[in-house]
Amino acid sequence: MYVSELGEQWRRARLRPEIVHLDSAAAGRSSNAVIGSISAHLWRETERGSYVAAEDRADEIARDKRDLASLIGHTADELAFRESARAALRALLTYWNLPMSTTVWVAKNEFGPNLVEFERRGYAVRPLPDADLAGHVDTDALENMLQFEQPDFIHVCHVGSASGVVQPVTRIVEIAHAAAVPVVIDMAQSAGHTPTVTGADVVYGTSRKWLTGPRGVGFVAVRSDALRPVEVESSEAFVAGRLGLGVAVSELLAIGQQRVFRELAAIGRYTRERLDGIGSWEVLEPIDEPSAITTLAPPPGWQTADVAAARDKLFSLGILVTAADSWRAPLATEQSVLRVSPHLDVEREDLDRLADALRTMGY
């Protein structure tokens, strides 16, 4: 029995998985239509020549751009493609005309590899204070801090890689803009998952996670007064992949984005209620956090290697989740957690199987 009323529709659009797939935060499962559009384009490339095949699809490509842009609160001409979210961030930092000694403020859930990008460029990185134990940014403290000092930009992971916490990005953007500070939002985990119209100056993300597009496609949208988006687009492109992402976005819009976000939040709540406390694993998000990512802290005394072993054991039982080590969010935690990230087609039995496996593991 599906957890969501959209479960059956979502499943019917895809192959039945061979495993219990609870790992959309790593890579979601593409629909048959997405895979069909990618392979059809690859065939056309060989029949008509790749550049002609792309030209043939110009209208579709333009429409896809408008759809994706509208989903993330930008316009089509602000949007550019790269091969991943990280490549999008790199391109942004390369072409953005930032001062010699750049200061960036980040939320505590900042993705470790993003911090590496900042540090290798010599930026001064300052973490923003949390408002609560879950790790939401304290927006009152931010407002206060900005009265005394302004960073060159604020960078926030809308949803991080090691937690289902959703940052209050709309409020952060409002406060930052009142102090004339630009905001960059990492939407790798939020695009297709939570509402993503934020008013931010730059947003970027990836196709393969919650949007369930193909791997190897990332995007970045830059408000025109901040930077010219044409500069950040790569000249070579996985056109078939972009068309596949376009189909994934149009499927999401056809269901209704708000409905999808609501159902994913309900799945998160159901998952947390189902799993909390089982076998001494502890759910780290507030039960009603509006996302479908649940992270579980291991029983007391477990080390990083034990969590990795638990993930492998689950996989041997046919259940796919991520063991999320602290490199994913080094400012937030030193602890490894299990990350459970079902999509709309999760069934109650899937979570029962996970709960049973967790119960019998170690304790």
Ligand X SMILES: *Cc1c(COP(=O)(O)O)cnc(C)c1O
Position 218 contacts ligand X (CB under 6 A): yes
Least Å distance, CB 188 to ligand X, is 4
Rounded to whole angstroms, the Cα distance separating 276 from 266 reads 15
- State in angstroms the smallest separation of the CB of 255 from ligand X: 23
Residues between 104 and 143 that touch ligand X (CB under 6 A): 111
Determine the interface stretch with ligand X among 40-48, 155-163, 236-244, 339-347 (rule: CB under 6 A): 155-163
Q: Based on CB atoms, which residue is closest to ligand X, 213 or 229? A: 213
Please list, in sequence order, all residues whose beta carbon lies within 8 angstroms of the beta carbon of residue 298, skipping any fewer than 6 positions away.
Answer: 281, 306, 307, 310, 335, 336, 337, 338
Expressed in percent and rounded to 5, the helix, strand and coil fractions of the chain are 45, 15, 40
Write down the least CB distance from residue 218 to ligand X, Å: 5
The least distance separating ligand X from the CB of residue 56, rounded to whole angstroms, comes to 28
Structure tokens at 42: 């690859």
Intra-chain end-to-end CA distance of the chain, in Å: 28
DSSP letters of 103-162?
Answer: EEEE-TT--HHHHHHHHHTT-EEEEPPBSSTT--B-HHHHHHHHTT---SEEEEESB-SS
Q: Does residue 241 bind ligand X (CB under 6 A)?
A: no
**Which tokens in the block code for residue 155?**
């960078």
Quick one: 7 or 214, whose CB is closer to ligand X?
A: 214
Is residue 189 close enough to count as binding ligand X by CB under 6 A?
A: yes
Q: Which is nearer to ligand X, 189 or 196 (CB)?
A: 189
Instruction: Provide the b/e sequence for 263-277 (b: ≥16 CB within 10 Å).
Output: bbbbbbbbbbebbbe
In 3D space, the residue among 212, 190, 257 whose CA is nearest the CA of residue 32 turns out to be: 212
Instruction: Check binding of 339 to ligand X (CB under 6 A).
Output: no
Smaller CB separation from ligand X, 4 or 163: 163
| Selected range binding ligand X among 2-10, 182-190, 244-252, 302-310, rule: CB under 6 A | 182-190
Among 23, 64, 186, 251, binds ligand X (CB under 6 A): 186
341 near ligand X (CB under 6 A): no
Residue with tokens 């060989």: 46
2 is an interface residue for ligand X by CB under 6 A: no
Name, in order, each residue with C-beta under 8 angstroms of 173's C-beta and a sequence gap of 6 or more: 183, 185, 198, 199, 200
Q: What is the CA radius of gyration of the chain?
A: 20
By CB under 6 A, is residue 217 in contact with ligand X? Answer: no
Min separation Cβ 108 and ligand X, Å: 13
Residue 84 found at the interface with ligand X (CB under 6 A): yes
Minimum separation from the CB atom of position 206 to ligand X (A): 3
In the shown chain, the binding pattern of residues 85 to 104 toward ligand X, with x for contact by CB under 6 A and - for none, equals: xx------------------
Region from 79-87, 91-99, 175-183, 345-353 binding ligand X, contact rule CB under 6 A: 79-87
**Could you tell me if 160 and 196 are in contact, meaning their C-beta atoms sit under 8 angstroms apart?**
no
For the chain, give the number of residues.
363
Pick the closer one to ligand X by CB: 195 or 362.
Answer: 195
Q: In angstroms, what is the minimal distance from the CB of 160 to ligand X?
A: 5
Place of tokens 């039945």: 16
Amino acid at 161: S
Closer residue to ligand X in complex, CB, 134/355 = 134
List of residues contacting ligand X (CB under 6 A): 84-86, 111, 157, 160-161, 186, 188-189, 206, 218
